[in-house]
């Protein structure tokens, strides 16, 4: 399997992430933020990634630092797991519905971090989770993984449904992008001959 392991420690959080891109969808995530754990489970289940994520943070203040640092560490772990990216499909494209919600995700494992986020979540919270943190999660993940990521909401009224559809669409797009393209025969999917952050 293609594994990436990261430990991140600051004055605000302690985070460990282990990801297997060639897994079977086993999720063992405990961030202290129940809704985030639920979304990470969607990422694992629909991406077929094995995720082991543990986080302890300053949740007595709010969820911001923990949400951010989990995403930063996850992005770094994905970057490590991808290695030189030889033979991968590189691009991913998926639309996921959840009842009335529909979200479209397109991504490129290009080495160039960019996020376009067009999602309108109607409530400020889902449970105790601040819905502003969804965009911040993906921005943080993009920053360290070096992916180009476009997320566009096509429909939706229920905040939970919109966010969950976003994570499911992202999971399937990332799964598609990280899978091997047999016709590539192990070559790097770039006319430059290299895909890297440098």
Could you report the per-residue pLDDT of 112-164, keeping only the tens digit for each? Answer: 999 999 999 999 999 999 999 999 999 999 999 999 999 999 999 999 999 99
Does the pLDDT value for residue 31 go beyond 70?
Answer: yes
Q: Could you give the C-alpha distances from 125 to 30, 37, 80, in angstroms and in order?
A: 20, 15, 33
Q: What is the mean pLDDT of the chain?
A: 96
Supply the pLDDT for residue 188: 83
36: Cβ contacts below 8 Å, ≥ 6 apart? 63, 66, 67, 70, 129, 133, 137
Q: How far apart are CA 44 and CA 109, in angstroms?
A: 18
Across 83-100, average pLDDT: 96
pTM flag (> 0.75): yes
Structural element, H or E, at residue 105 = strand 101-108
43: Cβ contacts below 8 Å, ≥ 6 apart? 27, 49, 51, 167, 170, 171, 174
110 pLDDT band, cuts 50/70/90, is: very high
Q: How far apart are CA 125 and CA 122, in angstroms?
A: 9
Does the pLDDT value for residue 11 go beyond 70?
Answer: yes
Beta bridge partners of 196: none
196 pLDDT band, cuts 50/70/90, is: low
Percentage of residues in the chain having pLDDT higher than 70: 98
Q: How far apart are CA 69 and CA 75, in angstroms?
A: 10
Supply the pLDDT for residue 197: 58
Percentage of residues in the chain having pLDDT higher than 90: 91
Does the pLDDT value for residue 198 go beyond 60?
Answer: no
Check whether domain 3-178 has CATH 3.30.230.40, yes or no: yes
N-term to C-term CA, the chain? 25
Does the pLDDT value for residue 193 go beyond 80?
Answer: no
pLDDT tens, residue by residue, 93-107 = 999 999 999 999 999
Alpha helices in 4-55 (DSSP H): 34-47
Supply the pLDDT for residue 92: 98
189 pLDDT band, cuts 50/70/90, is: confident
Sign of CA dihedral 34, 36, 40, 46: positive
Reported as half-sphere exposure (CB side, CA atoms, 13 A), residue 165 has a value of 25
């Amino acid at each position: 399997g293609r594994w990436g392991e990261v430990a991140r420690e600051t004055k605000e959080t302690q985070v460990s992430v282990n990801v297997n891109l060639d897994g079977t969808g086993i999720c063992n995530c405990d961030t202290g933020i129940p809704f985030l754990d639920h979304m990470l489970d969607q990422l694992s289940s629909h991406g077929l990634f094995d995720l082991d994520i543990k986080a302890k943070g300053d949740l007595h203040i709010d969820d911001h630092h923990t949400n951010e640092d989990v995403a930063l560490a996850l992005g770094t772990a994905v970057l490590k797991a991808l290695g030189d990216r030889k033979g991968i499909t590189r691009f991913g494209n998926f639309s996921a519905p959840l009842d009335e919600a529909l979200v479209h995700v397109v991504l490129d494992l290009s080495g160039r971090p960019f996020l376009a986020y067009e999602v309108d979540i109607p409530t400020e919270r889902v449970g105790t989770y601040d819905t502003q943190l969804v965009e911040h999660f993906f921005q943080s993940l993009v920053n360290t993984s070096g992916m180009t990521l476009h997320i566009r909401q096509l429909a939706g009224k229920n905040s939970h449904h919109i966010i969950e559809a976003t994570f499911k669409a992202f999971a399937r797009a990332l799964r598609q992008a990280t899978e091997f393209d047999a016709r590539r025969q192990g070559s790097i999917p770039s006319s430059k001959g290299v895909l890297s952050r440098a």
